[in-house]
Amino acid sequence: MAPSLDEMIQMYRKMLEIRRFEEAIADLYHRGEVPSSAHLYIGQEAVAVGVCSALRRDDYVLTTHRGHAHNIAKGVSMRRLAAEILGKATGLCKGKGGSMRASSLADGVVYACPIVGSNIPIAAGVGLSIKLRGTDQVVACFFGEGASNIGDFHEGINLAALWRLPVLYVCENNLYALSVSQRRSTLVEDIASRASAYGIPGVVVDGNDVLAVYEAARRAVEDARGGRGPTLIECKTYRWLGHHAGDPGFAYRPKEEVEAWRERCPIKRFRRVLLSRGVTEEELASVEEEVEEAVRDAMDFALESPYPGPEELLRDVY
Amino acid sequence: MSMVEALREALAEEMRRDSSVIVMGEDVGVLGGIYRVTQGLLEEFGPERVRDTPISEEAFMGAAIGAAVTGLRPVVEIMYADFLANCMNQIVNFAAKMRYCSGGQLRVPVVVRTMVGHGRGHGGDHSQVPMTWFMNIPGLRLVAPSTPYDAKGLLKTAIRDDSPVLFFEPHLLYRVRGPVPEEEYTIPFGRADIKRRGEDVTIVAVSAMVPRAVEAHERLREEGITAEVIDPRTLNPLDIETIVESVKRTNRLITVEYSPKTGGVGAEIAALVVERAFDYLDAPIIRVAAPDVPVPVSPPLGRMTVPTVEEIVEAVEALL
Ligand SMILES: Cc1ncc(C[n+]2csc(CCOP(=O)(O)OP(=O)(O)O)c2C)c(N)n1
């Protein structure tokens, strides 16, 4: 079942929000306003939006160090997300988590786990709680291909599979874990093939095609809600920028490769699809304008927000 | 009843009281745990709430955390405390920090029950008493009961607490019997138990060292020395007030633990006492502890890593 045209325009809006948001954060980073590193998502927008569009509002997401996008795609306030990234009191986590831990339980984004792979077992536990509480929610757990080489991946997916937990394991294969390419970290071609080791379905999808990602996620959600357990979805994609905002990203990958992937921009590609389905240039232009405005507003909010006061230091420990 | 039975009662009572309490770990279901603490729980509460896990400490610890932040109260069993090393990441980087780093959005009501100090030739990686690994991790509660009564009351408090709790069960005391009342009770965290009153020296003993310190008290009494014996019961929060108040009366302090001495519980307590009651001390503080070695298998060597009543008595005599 494909999304309606209205839903697709919504998806386009979200992809664009992510793109503009990350550009704005990069800008603030270079102006010294971001107190941490910032791992930007530009180039991968179809994955977060494709998956989260297949989720309900009350479904859960667990993300990673590269998690701004999953928050936006899940409907988290860009204002409070930006404020969190800047370490401000109005941030999602009162500025205590920052870019790599920004999350909003009220919106279903349970947590962002910046230790690579750690969210994989935690997602199994969220699935377990869903199962025991008897709701029909699901949880989507995002991670990079680099995470598929750590023990948490293998232990965690095995456990979720064994207990048939309602989890979507979404591997965003952007080909590099920091500087190390997939080829230099595993002999496995498709990360999704690892699913067979745990007796669950593994699916490879074009991670720059938001409708393909959506469709794969929709099927996995259906299985998860139906009690048939987890699916491992591998989305082949690419990060355009460096590992984080301070990394130019060219020391370990050829310029031509980066250029070739930029040609395959997931947003431009989806824009063409929308136009071919009868959405007008004017409609898209007004979405684009609204997004620019919303992102500018979010950054202004974050910049104008105060830092937390010293009384916050010792709060929330226990 | 024994500590094993007391723990089992606490688990069963809490599981009856609150359907969000679940138990998971290796061999905790069909077998009832290798120490039999969870015996009978599978029969009463069923396989959804009492779950045998694969040998994946990091995974089921992570799963417990994920379940906890979304509404359950998991109690996890780690078969040997040494295996906490296999899930250190989930405990230290997630359970302990998610509440803080989420700005208070998340609560992590996980209890990690684990066996410390096997004491019978299981060797270096199956014998540790590693409370101290976690003492400088803010966000965790650390509980070390030494009697069946305390074990039951503290485990019930642990299960009801919204913070992650590491609950260290001493193998040396699992089968030791003690009184446990019929009626419901809990024991608050952060309240030390003064096991014996005394005037001449304060002995702070932890976990399985508590009954040894009590025995040392009895022997010293025959020599006319009265030692105050304190069991802190929880190391985080630590009831330092009770210890300091005692030292102000006795003017001498001995700590007893069976973890390696360096960076141990005694080191922390000694530092706190020096900070708060330096002027009251009439003698150096003595830390009775395990030597800084892995626990060897060979019985005569292995025994040398667990402080004895004699060592405690000698430490007191050296001070007076
Ligand atoms: C366990 C662990 N090791 C190393 C790091 C440092 N680190 C952060 S992100 C990263 C690369 C992760 O690659 P991948 O999982 O593919 O995700 P991507 O960054 O490509 O989104 C590394 C090595 C870490 N955070 N956690």
Q: Which of A178, A180, A186, A194 to mutate to test the pocket of ligand 1 (most atoms within 8 A of CB)?
A: A178
**ipTM score of the complex?**
0.98
Q: Measured between alpha carbons, how far is B316 from B319 in angstroms, rounded to an integer? A: 5
Q: Which residue intervals of chain B bear CATH 3.40.50.970?
A: 3-173
Superfamily name and number for A5-306: Thiamin diphosphate (ThDP)-binding fold, Pyr/PP domains (3.40.50.970)
Identify the pLDDT of residue A50: 98
Mean pLDDT of the region A309-314: 98
Domain limits, chain A: 5-306
Identify the pLDDT of residue A1: 78
Beta strands A202-206 and A231-236 are: parallel
The partner residues of B2 in beta bridges, in order of sequence, read: B177
What residues in A contact B70, CB-CB < 8 Å? Answer: 60, 110, 125-126, 129-130
pLDDT band with cut points at 50, 70 and 90 for residue A297? very high
Cβ–Cβ gap A111/B72 under 8 Å: no
- Burial (CB count <10 Å: 0-12, 13-18, 19+), residue A35: middle
Cβ–Cβ gap B90/A118 under 8 Å: yes
Helix (H, G, I), strand (E, B) or coil at B278: helix
pLDDT band with cut points at 50, 70 and 90 for residue A174? very high
Q: Which CATH class is domain B3-173?
A: alpha beta
What is the CATH number assigned to the segment(s) B193-319?
A: 3.40.50.920
Active site residue B126: yes
What residues in A contact B62, CB-CB < 8 Å? Answer: 118, 120-122, 124-125, 152, 156
Q: Measured between alpha carbons, how far is A100 from A115 in angstroms, rounded to an integer? A: 9
Instruction: Identify the active-site residue in B26, B57, B77, B169.
Output: B57
* pTM of the entire predicted model: 0.98
Mean pLDDT of the region B180-202: 98
Cβ–Cβ gap B71/A133 under 8 Å: yes
Q: Which residues line ligand 1 (CB under 6 A)?
A: A 65-66, 114-116, 143-147, 150, 174, 176-178, 243
> What are the tokens at A219?
């099927």
The predicted-structure confidence for B265-276, as pLDDT tens digits, reads as follows 999 999 999 999
Identify the pLDDT of residue B183: 97
pLDDT band with cut points at 50, 70 and 90 for residue B209? very high
Distance (Å) from the alpha carbon of A94 to chain B's nearest alpha carbon:
5
Q: Measured between alpha carbons, how far is A255 from A108 in angstroms, rounded to an integer? A: 38
Rounded to the nearest 5°, which phi and psi values hold at A261?
A: -75, -35
The predicted-structure confidence for A223-250, as pLDDT tens digits, reads as follows 999 999 999 999 999 999 999 999 999 9
Active site residue B57: yes
The predicted-structure confidence for B82-129, as pLDDT tens digits, reads as follows 999 999 999 999 999 999 999 999 999 999 999 999 988 999 999 999
Mean pLDDT of the region A199-208: 98
Q: Taking 90 as the threshold, does the pLDDT of residue B62 lie above it?
A: yes
Q: What are the C-alpha distances in Å from B50 to residues A105, A201, B13, B24, B33? A: 27, 27, 14, 6, 11
